[in-house]
Chains A and B, each alone.
Chain A
Amino acid sequence: MKISRRNLLSAGAGAAAYAALPRAMAQEPAVFAPKPGDWRRYEVRTLIEIAAAPGGVQIWSPIPAFESAEWIKPGETTWALKSGSAALVGDPSSGARMVHAIWGATDGPAGIEIVSRFMARDRAVALSPRNSGASLSADKRKLYTMATELLQTDGIVKTQADQIVAGAKTDLEKARRIYEWVVDNTFRNPKTRGCGVGDVAGMLKSGNLSGKCADLNALYVALARAAGLPARDIYGIRVAPSQFGYKSLGANSPTISKAQHCRAEVFVDAIGWIPVDPADVRKVVLEEPPGNLAIDDSKVIAARRALFGAWETNWLAYNDAHDVKLPGSKGPAIPFLMYPQAETAAGRLDSLDPDAFKYTITTREITG
Protein backbone atom coordinates (compact mmCIF):
# COMPACT_ATOMS: atom_id res chain seq x y z
CA MET A 1 0.00 0.00 0.00
CA LYS A 2 1.29 3.36 -1.01
CA ILE A 3 0.96 5.92 1.64
CA SER A 4 1.17 9.49 0.51
CA ARG A 5 2.17 12.26 2.78
CA ARG A 6 -1.32 13.69 2.43
CA ASN A 7 -3.05 10.41 3.47
CA LEU A 8 -0.67 9.89 6.31
CA LEU A 9 -1.42 13.33 7.63
CA SER A 10 -5.12 12.69 7.22
CA ALA A 11 -4.97 9.39 9.01
CA GLY A 12 -2.88 10.97 11.69
CA ALA A 13 -5.41 13.72 12.21
CA GLY A 14 -8.20 11.18 12.26
CA ALA A 15 -6.41 8.98 14.73
CA ALA A 16 -5.81 11.92 16.97
CA ALA A 17 -9.48 12.83 16.87
CA TYR A 18 -10.51 9.21 17.50
CA ALA A 19 -8.15 8.95 20.41
CA ALA A 20 -9.49 12.15 21.84
CA LEU A 21 -13.12 11.10 21.61
CA PRO A 22 -13.23 8.67 24.54
CA ARG A 23 -11.45 11.19 26.74
CA ALA A 24 -13.94 13.87 25.79
CA MET A 25 -16.86 11.50 26.54
CA ALA A 26 -15.33 10.36 29.80
CA GLN A 27 -14.96 13.93 30.88
CA GLU A 28 -18.57 14.76 30.02
CA PRO A 29 -20.02 15.49 33.45
CA ALA A 30 -23.35 14.00 34.43
CA VAL A 31 -25.96 16.67 34.93
CA PHE A 32 -28.42 16.62 37.79
CA ALA A 33 -29.23 20.21 38.59
CA PRO A 34 -32.86 20.88 39.50
CA LYS A 35 -33.82 24.52 39.74
CA PRO A 36 -37.16 26.33 39.88
CA GLY A 37 -38.78 26.44 36.46
CA ASP A 38 -42.25 26.01 35.07
CA TRP A 39 -44.97 24.55 37.24
CA ARG A 40 -46.13 21.12 36.07
CA ARG A 41 -49.60 19.75 36.77
CA TYR A 42 -50.32 16.11 37.57
CA GLU A 43 -53.25 13.83 38.22
CA VAL A 44 -52.94 10.77 40.47
CA ARG A 45 -55.63 8.06 40.52
CA THR A 46 -55.87 5.54 43.33
CA LEU A 47 -58.16 2.58 42.68
CA ILE A 48 -58.90 0.42 45.71
CA GLU A 49 -60.84 -2.85 45.48
CA ILE A 50 -61.38 -5.07 48.51
CA ALA A 51 -63.69 -8.07 48.76
CA ALA A 52 -66.65 -7.78 51.09
CA ALA A 53 -65.74 -8.78 54.63
CA PRO A 54 -67.79 -9.71 57.70
CA GLY A 55 -68.27 -6.53 59.68
CA GLY A 56 -67.43 -4.29 56.73
CA VAL A 57 -64.37 -2.52 55.41
CA GLN A 58 -62.69 0.83 56.08
CA ILE A 59 -60.00 2.45 53.94
CA TRP A 60 -57.80 5.50 54.42
CA SER A 61 -55.95 6.81 51.38
CA PRO A 62 -53.49 9.74 51.60
CA ILE A 63 -54.16 12.81 49.47
CA PRO A 64 -51.92 15.76 48.59
CA ALA A 65 -51.85 17.86 51.77
CA PHE A 66 -48.37 19.36 51.84
CA GLU A 67 -48.26 22.91 50.53
CA SER A 68 -45.42 25.29 49.81
CA ALA A 69 -45.78 28.43 47.70
CA GLU A 70 -42.34 27.78 46.28
CA TRP A 71 -42.75 24.26 44.96
CA ILE A 72 -46.02 22.38 45.54
CA LYS A 73 -49.70 23.26 45.51
CA PRO A 74 -52.32 20.59 46.26
CA GLY A 75 -55.38 20.67 44.04
CA GLU A 76 -58.82 19.14 44.14
CA THR A 77 -59.46 15.57 45.28
CA THR A 78 -62.61 13.78 44.11
CA TRP A 79 -63.78 10.19 44.34
CA ALA A 80 -66.36 7.78 42.99
CA LEU A 81 -67.79 4.73 44.71
CA LYS A 82 -70.80 2.48 44.05
CA SER A 83 -71.65 1.72 47.66
CA GLY A 84 -70.56 2.75 51.11
CA SER A 85 -69.65 6.33 52.00
CA ALA A 86 -66.54 8.48 51.93
CA ALA A 87 -65.30 11.79 53.31
CA LEU A 88 -62.17 13.90 53.42
CA VAL A 89 -60.74 13.75 56.93
CA GLY A 90 -57.62 14.76 58.76
CA ASP A 91 -55.64 13.64 61.75
CA PRO A 92 -55.48 16.82 63.83
CA SER A 93 -52.39 15.82 65.75
CA SER A 94 -50.24 14.92 62.73
CA GLY A 95 -51.78 17.09 60.02
CA ALA A 96 -52.18 14.20 57.58
CA ARG A 97 -55.22 14.33 55.29
CA MET A 98 -56.88 11.38 53.66
CA VAL A 99 -60.03 9.99 52.09
CA HIS A 100 -61.78 7.80 54.64
CA ALA A 101 -64.34 5.41 53.16
CA ILE A 102 -66.59 2.93 54.97
CA TRP A 103 -68.51 -0.07 53.70
CA GLY A 104 -70.93 -1.86 56.00
CA ALA A 105 -71.36 -5.60 56.21
CA THR A 106 -74.19 -5.53 53.63
CA ASP A 107 -72.62 -3.01 51.24
CA GLY A 108 -70.86 -5.62 49.12
CA PRO A 109 -67.26 -5.30 47.89
CA ALA A 110 -65.40 -2.13 48.78
CA GLY A 111 -64.41 -0.17 45.70
CA ILE A 112 -63.37 3.45 45.30
CA GLU A 113 -61.44 5.52 42.78
CA ILE A 114 -59.81 8.64 44.18
CA VAL A 115 -58.50 11.33 41.85
CA SER A 116 -56.13 14.01 43.15
CA ARG A 117 -54.50 16.85 41.29
CA PHE A 118 -51.53 18.96 42.23
CA MET A 119 -48.91 21.32 40.80
CA ALA A 120 -45.18 21.16 41.47
CA ARG A 121 -41.91 22.58 40.24
CA ASP A 122 -38.29 21.82 40.92
CA ARG A 123 -36.50 23.30 43.91
CA ALA A 124 -33.08 24.74 44.52
CA VAL A 125 -32.29 26.68 47.68
CA ALA A 126 -29.40 29.13 47.82
CA LEU A 127 -27.22 27.76 50.61
CA SER A 128 -26.11 31.06 52.02
CA PRO A 129 -27.83 33.08 54.68
CA ARG A 130 -29.89 35.55 52.73
CA ASN A 131 -33.37 35.68 54.13
CA SER A 132 -33.35 37.25 57.55
CA GLY A 133 -37.06 36.47 57.82
CA ALA A 134 -36.57 32.73 57.60
CA SER A 135 -37.20 31.53 61.10
CA LEU A 136 -39.48 29.07 62.82
CA SER A 137 -41.94 29.78 65.60
CA ALA A 138 -41.21 28.16 68.94
CA ASP A 139 -44.10 25.74 68.37
CA LYS A 140 -42.83 24.68 64.94
CA ARG A 141 -39.28 24.34 66.21
CA LYS A 142 -40.53 22.10 68.99
CA LEU A 143 -42.62 20.05 66.55
CA TYR A 144 -39.73 19.49 64.16
CA THR A 145 -37.14 18.65 66.79
CA MET A 146 -39.27 16.26 68.84
CA ALA A 147 -38.93 12.49 68.95
CA THR A 148 -41.60 10.30 67.40
CA GLU A 149 -42.47 6.66 67.90
CA LEU A 150 -39.57 5.57 65.68
CA LEU A 151 -37.47 8.72 65.43
CA GLN A 152 -35.55 8.56 68.67
CA THR A 153 -33.53 11.69 69.37
CA ASP A 154 -31.74 10.72 72.57
CA GLY A 155 -29.50 7.82 73.54
CA ILE A 156 -27.50 6.34 70.68
CA VAL A 157 -29.03 8.74 68.14
CA LYS A 158 -27.92 11.78 70.15
CA THR A 159 -24.48 10.30 70.71
CA GLN A 160 -24.05 9.64 66.99
CA ALA A 161 -25.34 13.10 66.04
CA ASP A 162 -22.97 14.79 68.48
CA GLN A 163 -20.02 12.91 66.97
CA ILE A 164 -21.01 13.91 63.45
CA VAL A 165 -21.45 17.63 64.13
CA ALA A 166 -18.60 18.04 66.62
CA GLY A 167 -16.67 21.18 65.76
CA ALA A 168 -19.18 22.44 63.20
CA LYS A 169 -19.46 26.19 63.47
CA THR A 170 -22.86 26.78 61.88
CA ASP A 171 -26.19 25.02 61.59
CA LEU A 172 -25.68 24.80 57.84
CA GLU A 173 -22.39 23.01 58.37
CA LYS A 174 -24.09 20.62 60.82
CA ALA A 175 -26.87 19.91 58.33
CA ARG A 176 -24.40 19.17 55.56
CA ARG A 177 -22.17 17.01 57.74
CA ILE A 178 -25.12 14.81 58.68
CA TYR A 179 -26.05 14.54 55.00
CA GLU A 180 -22.55 13.48 54.01
CA TRP A 181 -22.39 11.01 56.92
CA VAL A 182 -25.66 9.33 55.90
CA VAL A 183 -24.50 9.08 52.27
CA ASP A 184 -21.12 7.66 53.30
CA ASN A 185 -22.34 5.20 55.95
CA THR A 186 -25.60 3.74 54.65
CA PHE A 187 -26.59 1.71 51.65
CA ARG A 188 -29.80 0.91 49.83
CA ASN A 189 -31.09 -2.59 50.45
CA PRO A 190 -33.19 -3.83 47.50
CA LYS A 191 -34.73 -6.54 49.72
CA THR A 192 -36.30 -4.01 52.09
CA ARG A 193 -40.09 -4.18 51.77
CA GLY A 194 -41.82 -1.01 50.65
CA CYS A 195 -39.81 2.04 51.64
CA GLY A 196 -38.65 0.54 54.92
CA VAL A 197 -39.70 1.15 58.50
CA GLY A 198 -37.49 3.92 59.87
CA ASP A 199 -36.50 2.37 63.19
CA VAL A 200 -33.55 4.71 63.55
CA ALA A 201 -32.27 3.67 66.96
CA GLY A 202 -32.51 0.02 65.95
CA MET A 203 -30.45 0.75 62.84
CA LEU A 204 -27.71 2.46 64.83
CA LYS A 205 -27.67 -0.14 67.62
CA SER A 206 -27.53 -3.09 65.24
CA GLY A 207 -25.04 -1.37 62.94
CA ASN A 208 -27.21 -2.38 60.00
CA LEU A 209 -27.47 0.98 58.25
CA SER A 210 -29.27 -0.36 55.21
CA GLY A 211 -32.76 0.16 53.92
CA LYS A 212 -34.72 2.45 51.68
CA CYS A 213 -35.96 6.02 51.86
CA ALA A 214 -38.09 5.61 55.00
CA ASP A 215 -35.00 4.23 56.75
CA LEU A 216 -32.18 6.35 55.35
CA ASN A 217 -33.94 9.70 55.19
CA ALA A 218 -35.52 9.05 58.59
CA LEU A 219 -32.00 8.52 59.87
CA TYR A 220 -31.09 11.94 58.48
CA VAL A 221 -34.12 13.55 60.16
CA ALA A 222 -33.52 11.88 63.52
CA LEU A 223 -29.82 12.79 63.54
CA ALA A 224 -30.64 16.38 62.58
CA ARG A 225 -33.28 16.65 65.31
CA ALA A 226 -30.88 15.13 67.81
CA ALA A 227 -28.35 17.81 66.81
CA GLY A 228 -30.96 20.49 67.49
CA LEU A 229 -31.86 21.19 63.86
CA PRO A 230 -35.54 21.24 62.91
CA ALA A 231 -36.06 18.53 60.28
CA ARG A 232 -38.92 16.57 58.80
CA ASP A 233 -39.69 13.60 56.58
CA ILE A 234 -42.10 14.30 53.74
CA TYR A 235 -43.95 11.24 52.50
CA GLY A 236 -45.07 10.99 48.89
CA ILE A 237 -44.84 9.18 45.59
CA ARG A 238 -42.89 9.59 42.34
CA VAL A 239 -45.11 10.69 39.45
CA ALA A 240 -42.88 11.25 36.40
CA PRO A 241 -39.54 10.27 34.88
CA SER A 242 -36.47 12.31 35.73
CA GLN A 243 -35.84 15.01 33.16
CA PHE A 244 -32.13 14.64 33.85
CA GLY A 245 -32.14 11.10 32.48
CA TYR A 246 -31.70 9.39 35.87
CA LYS A 247 -33.74 6.20 35.50
CA SER A 248 -33.44 5.46 39.21
CA LEU A 249 -34.91 8.82 40.24
CA GLY A 250 -38.25 8.82 38.50
CA ALA A 251 -41.50 6.99 37.84
CA ASN A 252 -40.87 5.36 34.49
CA SER A 253 -44.39 3.95 34.06
CA PRO A 254 -47.91 5.40 34.41
CA THR A 255 -48.56 2.77 37.11
CA ILE A 256 -46.90 3.93 40.33
CA SER A 257 -48.42 1.57 42.92
CA LYS A 258 -44.94 0.82 44.28
CA ALA A 259 -43.29 4.20 43.56
CA GLN A 260 -43.74 5.69 47.05
CA HIS A 261 -40.81 7.84 48.12
CA CYS A 262 -40.14 10.01 51.12
CA ARG A 263 -37.68 12.89 51.30
CA ALA A 264 -36.30 15.09 54.05
CA GLU A 265 -35.96 18.78 54.83
CA VAL A 266 -33.82 20.54 57.39
CA PHE A 267 -34.38 24.09 58.61
CA VAL A 268 -31.58 26.60 58.99
CA ASP A 269 -32.28 30.14 60.18
CA ALA A 270 -31.89 32.84 57.52
CA ILE A 271 -31.95 30.19 54.80
CA GLY A 272 -35.21 28.35 55.44
CA TRP A 273 -36.20 24.76 54.68
CA ILE A 274 -33.43 22.99 52.78
CA PRO A 275 -34.45 19.97 50.67
CA VAL A 276 -32.19 16.93 51.08
CA ASP A 277 -32.38 13.34 49.91
CA PRO A 278 -29.42 11.18 50.91
CA ALA A 279 -31.50 8.05 50.26
CA ASP A 280 -31.74 8.95 46.59
CA VAL A 281 -27.94 9.28 46.39
CA ARG A 282 -27.68 5.68 47.60
CA LYS A 283 -30.41 4.73 45.08
CA VAL A 284 -28.32 6.17 42.27
CA VAL A 285 -25.32 4.18 43.52
CA LEU A 286 -27.26 0.90 43.52
CA GLU A 287 -29.72 1.23 40.66
CA GLU A 288 -28.63 3.80 38.10
CA PRO A 289 -27.65 1.81 34.98
CA PRO A 290 -25.49 -0.14 34.66
CA GLY A 291 -25.89 -0.51 38.46
CA ASN A 292 -23.59 -0.65 41.49
CA LEU A 293 -21.91 2.62 40.54
CA ALA A 294 -18.80 3.74 42.34
CA ILE A 295 -19.25 6.56 44.82
CA ASP A 296 -17.02 8.70 42.58
CA ASP A 297 -18.99 7.96 39.41
CA SER A 298 -19.94 11.25 37.80
CA LYS A 299 -23.66 10.42 38.05
CA VAL A 300 -23.32 9.82 41.77
CA ILE A 301 -21.24 12.94 42.25
CA ALA A 302 -23.79 15.08 40.42
CA ALA A 303 -26.72 13.64 42.40
CA ARG A 304 -24.84 13.94 45.68
CA ARG A 305 -23.97 17.55 45.02
CA ALA A 306 -27.54 18.46 44.07
CA LEU A 307 -29.50 16.55 46.69
CA PHE A 308 -28.33 18.76 49.51
CA GLY A 309 -30.29 21.89 48.59
CA ALA A 310 -32.32 20.81 45.55
CA TRP A 311 -34.99 18.38 44.46
CA GLU A 312 -36.32 17.42 41.11
CA THR A 313 -40.01 17.57 41.94
CA ASN A 314 -41.25 14.77 39.72
CA TRP A 315 -42.86 13.69 42.96
CA LEU A 316 -46.03 14.27 44.96
CA ALA A 317 -45.72 15.23 48.62
CA TYR A 318 -48.60 13.82 50.66
CA ASN A 319 -47.72 14.99 54.16
CA ASP A 320 -45.00 15.26 56.80
CA ALA A 321 -47.00 13.39 59.43
CA HIS A 322 -45.68 10.95 62.00
CA ASP A 323 -47.63 8.63 64.28
CA VAL A 324 -50.87 9.04 62.36
CA LYS A 325 -54.12 8.03 64.03
CA LEU A 326 -56.53 6.77 61.39
CA PRO A 327 -59.97 8.19 62.26
CA GLY A 328 -62.39 5.42 63.15
CA SER A 329 -59.71 2.75 63.24
CA LYS A 330 -59.52 0.13 65.95
CA GLY A 331 -55.84 -0.46 65.25
CA PRO A 332 -52.71 1.33 66.43
CA ALA A 333 -51.37 4.59 65.02
CA ILE A 334 -49.15 4.13 61.98
CA PRO A 335 -45.62 5.61 61.86
CA PHE A 336 -46.41 7.49 58.62
CA LEU A 337 -49.16 7.67 56.00
CA MET A 338 -47.69 7.02 52.54
CA TYR A 339 -49.65 3.94 51.41
CA PRO A 340 -53.41 3.30 51.30
CA GLN A 341 -54.56 1.62 54.50
CA ALA A 342 -57.53 -0.69 55.06
CA GLU A 343 -59.10 -2.52 57.93
CA THR A 344 -61.68 -5.26 58.35
CA ALA A 345 -62.90 -6.99 61.48
CA ALA A 346 -59.93 -9.34 61.01
CA GLY A 347 -57.48 -6.44 61.25
CA ARG A 348 -55.33 -4.28 58.98
CA LEU A 349 -54.53 -5.30 55.43
CA ASP A 350 -50.91 -5.32 54.34
CA SER A 351 -50.39 -1.90 52.77
CA LEU A 352 -47.02 -3.00 51.35
CA ASP A 353 -48.68 -5.61 49.15
CA PRO A 354 -50.77 -3.68 46.59
CA ASP A 355 -51.56 -6.79 44.55
CA ALA A 356 -53.15 -8.59 47.49
CA PHE A 357 -54.62 -5.49 49.16
CA LYS A 358 -55.68 -4.53 46.38
CA TYR A 359 -54.80 -1.03 45.15
CA THR A 360 -53.51 0.46 41.92
CA ILE A 361 -52.09 3.98 41.64
CA THR A 362 -51.62 5.63 38.27
CA THR A 363 -50.36 9.06 37.23
CA ARG A 364 -50.38 11.39 34.26
CA GLU A 365 -49.12 14.87 33.61
CA ILE A 366 -51.81 17.33 32.65
CA THR A 367 -50.68 19.39 29.71
CA GLY A 368 -52.31 22.15 27.75
Chain B
Amino acid sequence: MTTIVHFFATWCAPCREELAALDALVRNGDAQRLKLIVVDTGEPETRVRRFFERHPKSFAVTLDPDRVAAKAWAVAILPSSFVFDAAGRGALKAEGDVDWRSNAVLRQLETLAATKIKNSPGGIR
Protein backbone atom coordinates (compact mmCIF):
# COMPACT_ATOMS: atom_id res chain seq x y z
CA MET B 1 0.00 0.00 0.00
CA THR B 2 1.24 3.47 -0.87
CA THR B 3 1.11 5.98 1.98
CA ILE B 4 0.86 9.76 1.64
CA VAL B 5 1.75 11.87 4.68
CA HIS B 6 0.46 15.38 4.11
CA PHE B 7 1.14 18.44 6.33
CA PHE B 8 -1.20 21.43 6.09
CA ALA B 9 -2.86 24.26 8.06
CA THR B 10 -6.30 25.77 7.69
CA TRP B 11 -4.88 29.29 7.26
CA CYS B 12 -2.85 28.22 4.23
CA ALA B 13 -4.80 28.98 1.03
CA PRO B 14 -3.11 26.43 -1.27
CA CYS B 15 -3.55 23.82 1.47
CA ARG B 16 -7.32 24.31 1.44
CA GLU B 17 -7.50 23.65 -2.29
CA GLU B 18 -5.23 20.65 -2.03
CA LEU B 19 -7.33 19.01 0.69
CA ALA B 20 -10.23 18.74 -1.75
CA ALA B 21 -7.99 17.11 -4.35
CA LEU B 22 -6.58 14.66 -1.80
CA ASP B 23 -10.11 13.82 -0.72
CA ALA B 24 -11.06 13.06 -4.31
CA LEU B 25 -7.91 10.99 -4.76
CA VAL B 26 -8.76 8.78 -1.80
CA ARG B 27 -12.46 8.48 -2.62
CA ASN B 28 -11.88 7.75 -6.29
CA GLY B 29 -8.89 5.49 -5.81
CA ASP B 30 -8.45 2.03 -4.46
CA ALA B 31 -8.62 2.43 -0.73
CA GLN B 32 -6.70 -0.82 -0.34
CA ARG B 33 -3.75 0.60 -2.24
CA LEU B 34 -3.57 4.14 -0.86
CA LYS B 35 -3.38 5.32 2.73
CA LEU B 36 -3.58 9.02 3.55
CA ILE B 37 -2.28 10.56 6.79
CA VAL B 38 -3.20 14.23 7.00
CA VAL B 39 -1.51 16.33 9.68
CA ASP B 40 -2.72 19.79 10.72
CA THR B 41 0.24 21.88 11.84
CA GLY B 42 0.33 24.40 14.67
CA GLU B 43 -3.37 25.03 15.22
CA PRO B 44 -5.83 24.40 18.07
CA GLU B 45 -8.27 21.53 17.70
CA THR B 46 -11.33 23.78 17.89
CA ARG B 47 -10.21 25.73 14.83
CA VAL B 48 -9.52 22.56 12.86
CA ARG B 49 -12.87 21.04 13.84
CA ARG B 50 -14.77 24.17 12.78
CA PHE B 51 -12.94 24.19 9.46
CA PHE B 52 -13.88 20.60 8.67
CA GLU B 53 -17.45 21.17 9.81
CA ARG B 54 -17.67 23.71 7.03
CA HIS B 55 -15.53 21.72 4.57
CA PRO B 56 -16.14 18.04 5.39
CA LYS B 57 -13.69 15.45 4.07
CA SER B 58 -13.69 11.67 4.07
CA PHE B 59 -10.31 11.29 5.78
CA ALA B 60 -9.26 11.61 9.40
CA VAL B 61 -6.98 14.45 10.49
CA THR B 62 -4.08 14.17 12.90
CA LEU B 63 -3.23 17.20 15.06
CA ASP B 64 0.28 18.57 15.56
CA PRO B 65 -0.50 21.69 17.63
CA ASP B 66 3.05 22.28 18.84
CA ARG B 67 4.67 21.43 15.47
CA VAL B 68 6.67 18.58 16.97
CA ALA B 69 5.85 16.28 14.08
CA ALA B 70 6.46 19.01 11.49
CA LYS B 71 9.91 19.64 12.98
CA ALA B 72 10.74 15.95 13.13
CA TRP B 73 9.84 15.65 9.47
CA ALA B 74 11.73 18.85 8.61
CA VAL B 75 8.63 20.41 7.12
CA ALA B 76 9.76 23.80 5.86
CA ILE B 77 6.65 25.04 4.09
CA LEU B 78 2.98 24.22 3.96
CA PRO B 79 1.63 22.20 2.33
CA SER B 80 4.27 19.46 2.24
CA SER B 81 3.74 15.87 1.19
CA PHE B 82 5.74 12.67 1.58
CA VAL B 83 4.90 9.50 -0.34
CA PHE B 84 6.06 6.07 0.82
CA ASP B 85 6.02 2.81 -1.07
CA ALA B 86 4.51 -0.42 0.19
CA ALA B 87 7.70 -1.23 2.07
CA GLY B 88 7.56 2.07 3.93
CA ARG B 89 10.43 3.61 2.00
CA GLY B 90 10.31 7.30 1.27
CA ALA B 91 9.85 7.63 -2.48
CA LEU B 92 8.45 11.04 -3.34
CA LYS B 93 8.38 14.42 -1.65
CA ALA B 94 6.80 17.76 -2.46
CA GLU B 95 7.30 21.14 -0.79
CA GLY B 96 4.38 23.28 -1.85
CA ASP B 97 1.11 22.42 -3.48
CA VAL B 98 0.61 19.37 -5.67
CA ASP B 99 -2.14 18.82 -8.23
CA TRP B 100 -3.22 15.35 -7.13
CA ARG B 101 -5.67 15.24 -10.04
CA SER B 102 -3.01 15.70 -12.71
CA ASN B 103 -2.10 12.78 -14.95
CA ALA B 104 1.59 13.24 -14.18
CA VAL B 105 1.05 12.82 -10.45
CA LEU B 106 -1.37 9.93 -10.89
CA ARG B 107 1.16 8.17 -13.12
CA GLN B 108 3.85 8.58 -10.45
CA LEU B 109 1.56 7.03 -7.84
CA GLU B 110 0.64 4.15 -10.17
CA THR B 111 4.29 3.50 -10.95
CA LEU B 112 5.10 3.48 -7.27
CA ALA B 113 2.23 1.12 -6.48
CA ALA B 114 3.35 -1.24 -9.26
CA THR B 115 6.93 -1.39 -8.02
CA LYS B 116 7.72 -4.83 -6.70
CA ILE B 117 9.05 -4.81 -3.20
CA LYS B 118 12.07 -7.07 -2.79
CA ASN B 119 12.95 -6.06 0.74
CA SER B 120 12.45 -3.12 3.06
CA PRO B 121 15.68 -2.31 4.81
CA GLY B 122 15.30 0.57 7.21
CA GLY B 123 11.64 1.21 6.61
CA ILE B 124 10.51 4.82 6.71
CA ARG B 125 13.40 7.22 6.90
Say how far B13's CB is from chain A's closest CB, in angstroms. 6
Q: Is the CB of B45 within 8 A of A347?
A: yes
> How many residues of chain B get a CB closer than 8 Å to chain A's CBs?
19
Partner of A332, one of B47, B66, B76, B78: B66
A348 interface contact, C-beta 8 A: yes
Q: Is the CB of A202 within 8 A of B76?
A: yes
B 30-70 contacts with A by CB, 8 A: 42, 44-47, 50, 65-67
Knowing A191-B13, A206-B96, say if A349 contacts B76 (CB, 8 Å).
no
Q: Which residues of B contact A202 (CB under 8 A)?
A: 76-78
A259 interface contact, C-beta 8 A: no
Knowing A201-B76, A348-B44, say if A193 contacts B50 (CB, 8 Å).
no
Q: Which residues of A contact B78 (CB under 8 A)?
A: 199, 202, 206
Q: Is the CB of B77 within 8 A of A347?
A: no
Expressed in whole angstroms, the Cα–Cα distance for A353 and B46 within the complex equals 10
- Please classify the interface of chain A as helix (H, G, I), strand (E, B), loop, or mixed, using the class held by over half of its residues: loop
Q: Is the CB of B44 within 8 A of A197?
A: no
Expressed in whole angstroms, the Cα–Cα distance for A136 and B77 within the complex equals 34
Knowing A202-B78, A205-B76, A331-B65, say if A347 contacts B44 (CB, 8 Å).
yes
Q: Is the CB of B11 within 8 A of A197?
A: yes
- Please classify the interface of chain B as helix (H, G, I), strand (E, B), loop, or mixed, using the class held by over half of its residues: loop
B110 interface contact, C-beta 8 A: no
Q: Is the CB of B13 within 8 A of A348?
A: no
Q: Which residues of B contact A192 (CB under 8 A)?
A: 11
Q: Is the CB of A352 within 8 A of B47?
A: yes
Expressed in whole angstroms, the Cα–Cα distance for A196 and B76 within the complex equals 17
The chain A residue with its CB closest to the CB of B44 is A348
B99 interface contact, C-beta 8 A: no
Expressed in whole angstroms, the Cα–Cα distance for A117 and B81 within the complex equals 48
Partner of B65, one of A149, A332, A350: A332
A1 interface contact, C-beta 8 A: no
Q: Which residues of A contact B77 (CB under 8 A)?
A: 199, 201-202, 205-206
Q: Which residues of B contact A191 (CB under 8 A)?
A: 13
A366 interface contact, C-beta 8 A: no
Q: Which residues of B contact A206 (CB under 8 A)?
A: 77-78, 95-96
Say how far B25's CB is from chain A's closest CB, in angstroms. 22
A356 interface contact, C-beta 8 A: yes
| Other A-B pairs beyond A331-B65, A348-B45, A349-B46, 15, CB < 8 Å | A189-B13, A196-B11, A197-B11, A199-B77, A201-B76, A201-B77, A206-B78, A206-B95, A332-B65, A347-B44, A347-B45, A348-B44, A348-B46, A349-B44, A350-B47
